[in-house]
Amino acid sequence: MTINARILGAAAGGGLPQWNCGCANCNAARAGEIPPQSQSSVAVSGNGRDWAILNASPDIRDQMAKCTAVHPTGLRQLPLKSVLVTNGDIDHVAGLLVLRESQPFTLFATAEIHDVLAANPIFDALRDDCVSRSRIALDQPFELVPDLTATLFAVPGKVPLYLEGDVVKTDLVGEQTVGVELIAGNKRAYYIPGCAHVPADLADRLRGADLVMFDGTLWSDNEMIRAGLSQKTGQRMGHISISGPDGSMTAMQDLNIKQKVYVHMNNSNPVIDPRSDQTRQAEQGGWTIGRDGMEIEI
């Protein structure tokens, strides 16, 4: 058995270029010097026929148009059978509104994330008689699509930006931010686009995996402040950085993971420019920088 993954969108919320951003990376993408990247989403399959999309980005319409694996096979027959969202962030749920054309699919998420969607009537555009909303308990395996089993597990994170109160806890461990384990036969893959740090139990879970697609939002915690783009650190956004002693490269260097791929890169991250020194450093550290359209088979 094999697991197929297609990176539909490798960028974090905002994408590359971000509409209102004049940073060096966004300008380079506008000038055609580096490839634009769309917002965070991956399509996965365990048999090459039935596909699930992990996170529905606002770019999903264009992403699906570019991904032949999910094109219709009949008038309204689609290889896309299910959609799973790992948190309630806008970059991961806004694309659900694009999928409102009375096409049956199953929407998987934790109960907490389903409650966030249910509290917002605009998502009623996904009619109950078409889209079945399946509430998934943590650490309970379920069939994501035929021949591919998934399990959701809590990773440190925070509530979506639009639900933040006055006091924000950025490393909540519960149903608001999850990672996905994917199993087909003896193959084991992970998709974790948002994660505030790597606690020991997460490291143990990932040990020996065939593939890990992981939160590559920022290269360093204060890069957006240094670039004058924002007052926020990565930690404040609930995202671990790639580099440094507390970064994900260090946290995962000795876990014997066969293939490590960064996803969900912010446009401030130097690795979003394939020409950067940091891209080379990440590659020397055993990582691949995810890019739109990348196909991975394990």
Residues interacting with ligand MLT, by CB under 6 A?
A: 12-13, 89-91, 161, 194, 237
Binding partner of 237, given Zn ion, Mn ion, ligand MLT, none, CB within 5-8 angstroms per partner class: ligand MLT
Binding status of residue 265 toward Zn ion by CB under 5 A: no
Q: Is 270 helix (H, G, I), strand (E, B) or coil?
A: helix
Name the segment binding Zn ion (CB under 5 A); options: 34-42, 61-69, 91-99, 262-270.
262-270
Binding partner of 23, given Zn ion, Mn ion, ligand MLT, none, CB within 5-8 angstroms per partner class: Zn ion
CA distance 219 to 247: 9
Q: Give the CA distances from residue 225 to residues 143, 256, 263, in Å, rounded to whole numbers and listed in that order.
A: 42, 34, 21
Q: How far is the CB of 10 from Mn ion (least distance, A)?
A: 12
Q: How far is the CB of 28 from Zn ion (least distance, A)?
A: 9
Q: How far is the CB of 240 from ligand MLT (least distance, A)?
A: 12
Binding status of residue 12 toward Zn ion by CB under 5 A: no
Binding partner of 279, given Mn ion, ligand MLT, Zn ion, none, CB within 5-8 angstroms per partner class: none
Binding partner of 21, given ligand MLT, Mn ion, Zn ion, none, CB within 5-8 angstroms per partner class: Zn ion
CA distance 156 to 238: 8
Place of tokens 């659900």: 96
Nearer to Zn ion, 21 or 67 (CB): 21
Q: Which of 244, 151, 251 is nearest to 199 (CA)?
A: 251
In the chain, the DSSP E strands lie at 4-9, 41-45, 51-54, 80-84, 105-109, 131-135, 142-145, 148-154, 178-184, 187-192, 211-215, 260-263, 287-289, 295-297
Binding partner of 267, given Zn ion, ligand MLT, Mn ion, none, CB within 5-8 angstroms per partner class: Zn ion
Nearer to ligand MLT, 89 or 292 (CB): 89
| Residue choice 8, 12, 21, 28 for contact with Zn ion (CB under 5 A) | 21
| Residue choice 82, 266, 267, 269 for contact with Zn ion (CB under 5 A) | 267
For the chain, the farthest-separated pair of C-alpha atoms sits apart, in whole angstroms, at 53
Taking CB under 5 A as the criterion, which residues in 231-250 touch Mn ion?
A: none
Binding status of residue 91 toward Mn ion by CB under 5 A: yes
Nearer to ligand MLT, 118 or 163 (CB): 163
CA distance 222 to 162: 22
CB 213 within 8 A of CB 190: yes
Nearer to ligand MLT, 124 or 164 (CB): 164
Provide Rg for the chain, Cα atoms. 18
CA distance 101 to 2: 31
List contacts with Mn ion (CB under 5 A). 12-13, 89, 91
